[in-house]
Amino acid sequence: MKIYFCLILIFLVLSSQLVPAQTDTGIDKKVFTFKIDTDIDPAMTRRVKLALEKAEQAEVDLIVIDMDTYGGAVNDADKIRTLILNSGIPVYVFINKDAASAGALISIAADSIYMAPGASIGAATVVNGADGAAAPDKYQSYMRSMMRSTAEAQGRDPRIAEGMVDEKIEIEGISEAGSVITLSVSEAEKYGFCEGQFDSIQAILAAQGLGTAKVTAYEPDQIEQIIAFFLNPAVSGFLILVIIGGLYFELQTPGVGFPILASLVAVLLYFIPYYLSGLTANWEILVFAIGVILLAVELFVLPGFGIFGVLGIIGILTGLVLGMIPNQNFNFDFVPAADLFSALLTVILAAIVSVGLVFWLTPKVNEWGAFKTITLSSTQQRSEGYTSTFYADSLKGKTGVVHSRLRPSGKIEIDGDIYDAYSRGEFIDQGEKIIVISTEGTSLKVKKWEG
């Protein structure tokens, strides 16, 4: 009996040795990837935030960022690196070509950095957007502190990270005074800023035993695609055209409703995508709204065209321009000159085209069948017996005073009653005496009374 027992025990031991050891091939693992391949700006911050949220919802095991950027706004780089540092999922960065400036900061925040052949990381000096010159030292100091603290958090050399920002930092064997640090692949591997050189993300995963993992690439949903569509400068220009044209037609023919409705819809479609992308701030929308209000005051409360009208137009155009660019409270130091020029050109050209279309379309509107039902399309001639007298002939020759300045139109007061009036072209100040010289039309025609 003992012999049989021993034989069975020996057989079980030998059988266990013949079964191959199980290895983690990553067959049940999930990997999520997304790209940082344009300037670091509010739109990119939104993309990273949404991508990380989707990765968490999918409960993936690893996030890999495909990096190729020359940098961008410091404040947005700070937000992105904070999102990466706070991620509960390991984050790798694959530097496909360049991780310069803000891209270097974001890369250092990752748990592991991998680089493609010929890639580089560094050159994180803060520059302004106008001419690319180095920004004041307060910005450099802020960037140095972020680079240092981020490198320390991920176990990388903080001195080298600072040297990527400050050209005055000299590290023996790495950099000389007068030049910032930019590391090649081999240098980055040597000094702990790269874990390996690979041709692709798939090669990285294979080296990590995740060759068979399920890889999901971030794709914007339909809402994000719609937002991206309306951020196109051509679409923005068309919306500006509708905004300005709608305001003009509604102010010229109050009560029709359709022009102001079209303008309001265009305003929403213009500002909402920029607002969601972080480009438009609340105060920029307020500037636009104040501009509209000032223009309405000029046209309806103080007839003529003066300071309120000018300020209104400036407010409208300023709100439209600022809504397109990531300025910080009128600070354009880090706004790329190309972006600022594009915003100005889009708004100015759209405004010019809108004004041109307004003057071209206004005479033709009444010819459209859709408008003939709500507008008077024929001319009522005096020879046919039509008149436009709204006031009694007894007002002719009456004297009164200017109630609101005539520029040349405004309001006058006669015997305690207020009337719309206009002069023969001259401006007449409030309180001056006038005499009615004609009662034909919708306003009284007056001139200054010399007494």
Domain residue limits, the chain: 30-217, 222-372, 382-448
Q: Which fold has domain 30-217?
A: 2-enoyl-CoA Hydratase; Chain A, domain 1 (3.90.226)
E strands in 203-322: 214-217
Percent of the chain whose pLDDT exceeds 90: 35
Most confident of 129-138, 205-214, 288-297, 374-383: 205-214
What average pLDDT does the chain have?
A: 82
Place of tokens 């300023």: 318
Tell me the pTM.
Answer: 0.67
Q: In this structure, which amino acid lies at residue 179?
A: S
What is d(CA 56, CA 264) in angstroms, rounded to the nearest whole number? 38
Question: What confidence score (pLDDT) does residue 405 get?
Answer: 83
Q: Degrees (nearest 5) of the Cα angle 112, 115, 120?
A: 115
What mean pLDDT is predicted for residues 350-358?
A: 82
| For residue 20, pLDDT beyond 50 | no
| For residue 247, pLDDT beyond 60 | yes
E strands in 202-355: 214-217
Question: What confidence score (pLDDT) does residue 252 get?
Answer: 64
What mean pLDDT is predicted for residues 154-174?
A: 89
What mean pLDDT is predicted for residues 229-251?
A: 83
Report residue 91's pLDDT band, with 50, 70 and 90 as the boundaries: very high
Question: What confidence score (pLDDT) does residue 18 get?
Answer: 43
Lowest mean pLDDT among 3-12, 76-85, 323-332: 3-12
More confidently predicted of 373 and 91: 91
| DSSP H or E run through 92 | strand 91-100
End-to-end CA distance of the chain: 143
Question: What confidence score (pLDDT) does residue 354 get?
Answer: 83
Percent of the chain whose pLDDT exceeds 70: 81
Question: What confidence score (pLDDT) does residue 130 get?
Answer: 54
| For residue 5, pLDDT beyond 80 | no
CATH superfamily of 382-448: Nucleic acid-binding proteins (2.40.50.140)
| For residue 154, pLDDT beyond 50 | yes
Report residue 141's pLDDT band, with 50, 70 and 90 as the boundaries: confident
Q: In this structure, which amino acid lies at residue 70?
A: Y
| For residue 24, pLDDT beyond 70 | no
**How far is the CA of 261 from the CAs of 246, 267, 294, 365, 371, in angstroms?**
8, 10, 19, 17, 16
What mean pLDDT is predicted for residues 80-86?
A: 95
The full DSSP string for 59-72 is T-SEEEEEEEE--B
Look at residue 238 and give its three-state secondary structure: helix
Lowest mean pLDDT among 20-24, 287-291, 383-387: 20-24
Question: What confidence score (pLDDT) does residue 182 get?
Answer: 92
Question: What confidence score (pLDDT) does residue 22 get?
Answer: 40
Q: Which residues are CB-neighbours of 410 under 8 A, at least 6 positions away?
A: 303, 304, 402, 403, 404, 420, 421, 422, 428
Closest C-alpha among 214, 241, 213 to residue 353: 241
Q: Which residues pair with 98 in a beta bridge?
A: 120
What mean pLDDT is predicted for residues 160-175?
A: 86
Question: What confidence score (pLDDT) does residue 203 get?
Answer: 95
Place of tokens 């072209």: 425
Burial grade of 330 (CB within 10 A; 0-12, 13-18, 19 or more): exposed
Contact by Cβ (8 Å): 25, 211 = yes
Pairing of strands 433-438, 444-448: antiparallel
DSSP type of residue 40: B
Q: In this structure, which amino acid lies at residue 321?
A: V
Q: Which residues pair with 434 in a beta bridge?
A: 400, 448
What is d(CA 95, CA 114) in angstroms, rounded to the nearest whole number? 6
Question: What confidence score (pLDDT) does residue 363 get?
Answer: 62
What is d(CA 160, CA 24) in angstroms, rounded to the nearest whole number? 36
Contact by Cβ (8 Å): 129, 332 = yes
| For residue 21, pLDDT beyond 90 | no
pLDDT in tens, 184-220: 999 999 999 999 999 999 999 999 999 899 999 998 8
What mean pLDDT is predicted for residues 246-265?
A: 75
More confidently predicted of 150 and 166: 150
Dihedral pair phi/psi, residue 405, rounded to 5°? -45, 135
Q: Degrees (nearest 5) of the Cα angle 222, 226, 232?
A: 145
Question: What confidence score (pLDDT) does residue 147 get?
Answer: 93
